[in-house]
Structures are given as C-alpha cells and as structure tokens.
Structure 1
C-alpha cells in the first residue's frame, strides 16, 4: 500500500515529463516515502505517452492512465482520484511550475490532521514569477471569486494541493476547466485545511493552455458550486453562505436599532433640531454598530473559536473601522449614481447598500474574524 499518490495530469508534455517524474521520484527516495506516481494523459499526440511507457520499465511505482474522451485538466485529475492506489493524493502540474520538494511537507500536514493542504501563491512567503500583467489580473480575479466562497483560503484555485481520499469519497464532483481544487473544496467533506506558501514558476518549455473558454468554464463552476451549496447544505461553501445570511439578518436588526434610537433621541430628548440631531444620528449609528458587532461576534462567527485576534475590544474597533469604510462606499456610490447618472435615489441607495454589505462582510470575514 502506498503512502500517497502523486497525480500528474498531462497533455503534450513531452518536454517536461521526464524531469517532473524524476524529481518526484527523487523526493520519494530522499524522504523515505512509499509513493505512487500516476500520470493521467489526455491522449497526447506527441511523445508524452511513449516516454512514460518507457519510464515505467524502470520505475515500478509509476503508472499511466490514458484518457481518450472528455478531455480537460480537471477531468483528468478526477479520473486520477478514482484510479489512485493510496488514501492521500497530491496533485501537481507537469510543467515544473510547482515544486515537488514540498510534497513531503504536504503529506506531513495531512498526517498531522489536515484534510486538505494547499500550495498557496498568495499567502505570506508565496509568489509568482514570470507572469505577464494580463495573466496576473485574470488570476487575481479568479482568486477573488473563489475567496467569496472560501474566504479563509488564500489560494482556492491553486493547482498544487494534497487531499485525503475520504474528502472526495462520494462527492458529486463536476470537473471542468483547470480549477479542480475549487470543486474539491466546494463539494468535498472537509473541516481542516492547511496552506503552505510556494513560489509559482511559469513553464519554461511549452505553452500555457489558458483560453477564454477556461474563464467561462470557471464562472460556470463558481455558479455550480454556489447552487450545490444551497441544495446540499453540507459543503464548506454552504457553511460560508450561512454566515452571509446571518450577517445580513444582523445588519437588518442594526437598521431597526438605528432608526429606533434616532426616533427616541429626536422625539424625547433635546437632540431634536439641527445641528443637535446630527449628534443623535451619530449616537444611533454607533449603537447600531455595537448591536451588529455583538450579534456577529456571538452568533454569526461563533464557530470561529480559533480566532487570530482573541481580544474582543480589538475586534470591536476593527469592526467599527470596516463599517465606517462600508458607509463611505455606500454614500459615495449613492452620490455618483444620483448626481452623475441621474439614477432614482432609492435605487441608488439600494445599490450602495448592497455594495457596502459585500464590503463589510468580506473585509470583516478576512480581518475581524479571521482564523489563525
């Protein structure tokens, strides 16, 4: 029985396949890991299959799966999951953009209790080399969308990750495009994740397979995972959506508190005329922010026990600052839409409120209530 299976999806990788197999096998031997190397090829028209077949004669732990239909990187990895011999899978690109040297560390994190271990380009210590600006922008956009579903994962679209077999057992994966990790996170059964920084190196040989079709497929994938999370109520994405709903309910309660306090101060105190009513408004706003913080801290994010910031006063101050930013965004959008574009004031206010809500939830999720 192998300790782990390294899955390498390939298509026209004759220039890189010898090197990546050699490097992975060297890592196995140097780390005393009993590992399987599984190359999953999309029926490459070049010499990729022939090279792997030749290498199999001297590497007993090397296996080859040739796919003749439903081509695609994610589909290849999914088929690799079903054919792998071990209970732990590591997915790595064939183009040498991912460092095989991190495989033992990934496996160690799995052994230590992680369900998914992700090689991250965007956490501290990670990075990307030799990418043009256009590709960086596309990657950041894809990462942003992915983090709306999994805000605590810095690189949910990474192609370099390890996962327990049990995470995807029975999962209704619908692989498409290149972002198989997002599918695993969205539909797999996992609780504990770990990220390891690495520097992504763009391929030296061969050409990138990123196309417009890939971007469209990714958008479809995000939509599919969102729908899946609503239907099944068990995925990690659904746990995040529940927080969004709770955050929204708390926000509505804050509006009620705001209006109630404002009404009381204006009608029953001396703060009933301009400019005194400005103070009444400020008091009402701050009390509503306090209301929202308390409920979010005790209810919305109650499950975040392993918080990075354990001091509640620190979280409260941070929440205030983020909420102020949301208010400025709301007001700014209202001003632009009404003064510049002539949009009906209630519609402009609604749009500003929605954008402010997205800001408040996203930033607070990643700053105020972020895990360690």
Structure 2
C-alpha cells in the first residue's frame, strides 16, 4: 500500500529539512513505499529554496507552492487534491509528530481500518513542552467534542492522522480554511460511518520558528465546524453516510 504524507509548510526554513530527512530515513528503513508531499503555503522565507535542495537527495519528495488563498486548511486541502498514494497521512513541518509513530499508524491501517487517529492523551501517548494555556484549551475543547458527539476519541484536534484515499474522497466537500480542518476531517469520518483505530502518539513542541495557530482567531472557527458537523450528525438523516453514499453511486452507475 503506497503511503502519501501531506505536510503544509509556512515559513519553515529552520525545520523542514530535519523533518523530511528523518521521515524519509524511517520510511526507507521500514521499506514503506511512499511520497512526501510538501505544500509550501506561499512562504515569505527560504522554505522553497530549502525544498529544492532537499529534492536532490530525497527522491520521494514532491512539493507544490500554494500561491493562494493561504492558511493551514487551504494548504492541506491543496495537498489532498494532489496526493498519489492509496492512503494519506497529515503531519506537521516542525517535527512535532514522530516518524516512528507514522509507521505504527501505517501498520494499524493494514488491519482493515479506514482511518487511524493519533491520541497524545491516551495511555502510551505523551506530550513534551506543551504550552500550558494551549494544553488547557485543548483538553477542554476535546472534552466538549466528546460529549456533543458521544464518541470515545479524546484528541480530535490532533492533526496527526492517517486516512485511506476513499475516505478523503467521501469527506468532500471540505470547508475549513484554517486549523479547524483538523476537527472537520475526523468528525466527518466518524459521522459518515468510516471505521477508525486510535493509536497513542507522541508530540514535541517545535524547536525553531513559531506556531501559526492563533487561539483567539480560531475559537469561533472551531465552533463553526463543530456546529456544522453536529447538524450533519443529527439532521441529515444519514444522507452522507458511507453506506448510503456507496448505494447512491451504484444506482447512478446502473442508470448510466
């Protein structure tokens, strides 16, 4: 099963080389066929220059420059429209996610699941140098999501996840232009009936650069996506559910 890794990058000249090098080395060590797809989100620094240099020694690296509109969600969606693998993982450019954890995700997916969701707060997961305010807000937000959607998953806002290609196709259209995409993807997958496994993962705060997540700006955007998904869950009458979508597609093929 070919694996694609979509990595959005905005002003990541200080970390992108180490991230790609470690990721490539681990995937080659485990003989996992892959592509590393970086979306340069119109960076203002030398991120693109660094990517060109890395391409000379990492043959599985491809990159695109998203000239706009820009934002985390736009960049990820740009990559999700262009990946070639049978499954796709979302990872951060700052090496906060572990390549070894990705190998665990990949092996778990091969057990037959549609998605693998990372959890930093389940037994076996861990966080290192997580800012206290962000940690408090994270745990509060995830608890609210758990209660509202009646799910067991406790880390929906974690960007680090792995999806089969057909899941990404079944979650369209994607709406989120910013970090709220990390909430939209798993909630839609759960609501629409895709199977998922939860695997503990580690998270390490970035060593260089700065986070582009702005808490004050994102609160209302996360709430909008949560409300949107709640409406689908309780009022769509299953119109977007995986089984119903497959049935409609088959009926359309028969008519044609």
TM-score, with length taken from structure 2: 0.86
Distance of aligned partners of 1:65 and 1:146 in 2 relative to their CA distance in 1, 3 Å threshold: farther
Distance of aligned partners of 1:39 and 1:215 in 2 relative to their CA distance in 1, 3 Å threshold: same
Shift of 1:7: 0.8
Structure 1 residue aligned with 2:209: 206
Whole-angstrom distance in 2 between the partners of 1:235 and 1:181 = 23
Shift of 1:54: 1.9
Structure 2 residue aligned with 1:334: none
Structure 2 residue aligned with 1:183: 184
Structure 1's consecutive aligned runs of 4 or more residues displaced over 4 angstroms after TM superposition are: none
Shift of 1:235: 8.0
Whole-angstrom distance in 1 between the partners of 2:41 and 2:182 = 19
Distance of aligned partners of 1:3 and 1:96 in 2 relative to their CA distance in 1, 3 Å threshold: same
Quick check: 1:185–1:236 contact (8 Å CA) kept in 2? no
Matched, 1:221 2:225: yes
Whole-angstrom distance in 2 between the partners of 1:200 and 1:149 = 25
Shift of 1:156: 1.0
Structure 1 residue aligned with 2:249: none
Structure 2 residue aligned with 1:13: 12
Shift of 1:203: 0.9
Considering only CA atoms, is the larger Rg found in Structure 1 or Structure 2? Answer: 1
Distance of aligned partners of 1:168 and 1:234 in 2 relative to their CA distance in 1, 3 Å threshold: farther
Shift of 1:133: 2.2
Distance of aligned partners of 1:21 and 1:12 in 2 relative to their CA distance in 1, 3 Å threshold: same
The alignment partner of 1:169 has SS state of helix
Whole-angstrom distance in 1 between the partners of 2:239 and 2:120 = 24
Shift of 1:223: 1.4
Quick check: 2:121–2:200 contact (8 Å CA) kept in 1? yes
Whole-angstrom distance in 2 between the partners of 1:54 and 1:127 = 33
Quick check: 1:92–1:98 contact (8 Å CA) kept in 2? yes
Quick check: 1:173–1:187 contact (8 Å CA) kept in 2? no
Distance of aligned partners of 1:13 and 1:227 in 2 relative to their CA distance in 1, 3 Å threshold: same
Shift of 1:158: 0.7
The alignment partner of 2:81 has SS state of helix
The alignment partner of 1:83 has SS state of coil
Matched, 1:128 2:127: yes
Shift of 1:231: 4.5
Whole-angstrom distance in 1 between the partners of 2:211 and 2:175 = 23
Quick check: 2:91–2:160 contact (8 Å CA) kept in 1? yes
Shift of 1:194: 0.9
Shift of 1:86: 0.5
Mapping of 1:1-372 within 5 angstroms?
A: 3-147=2-146, 148-149=148-149, 151-170=151-170, 171-188=172-189, 189-211=192-214, 212-234=216-238
Shift of 1:78: 1.6
Shift of 1:234: 3.1
Whole-angstrom distance in 1 between the partners of 2:47 and 2:150 = 36
Whole-angstrom distance in 1 between the partners of 2:232 and 2:66 = 27
Shift of 1:169: 0.9
Quick check: 1:145–1:222 contact (8 Å CA) kept in 2? no
Q: Deviations over 1:233-261 (max 9, x none)?
A: 33899xxxxxxxxxxxxxxxxxxxxxxxx
Shift of 1:16: 0.4
Q: CA RMSD in A?
A: 1.9
Distance of aligned partners of 1:126 and 1:134 in 2 relative to their CA distance in 1, 3 Å threshold: same
Quick check: 2:156–2:187 contact (8 Å CA) kept in 1? no
Quick check: 1:3–1:33 contact (8 Å CA) kept in 2? yes
Whole-angstrom distance in 2 between the partners of 1:235 and 1:183 = 17
Whole-angstrom distance in 2 between the partners of 1:77 and 1:65 = 11
* Structure having the larger proportion of residues in strand: 2
Whole-angstrom distance in 2 between the partners of 1:112 and 1:97 = 26
Whole-angstrom distance in 1 between the partners of 2:218 and 2:112 = 33
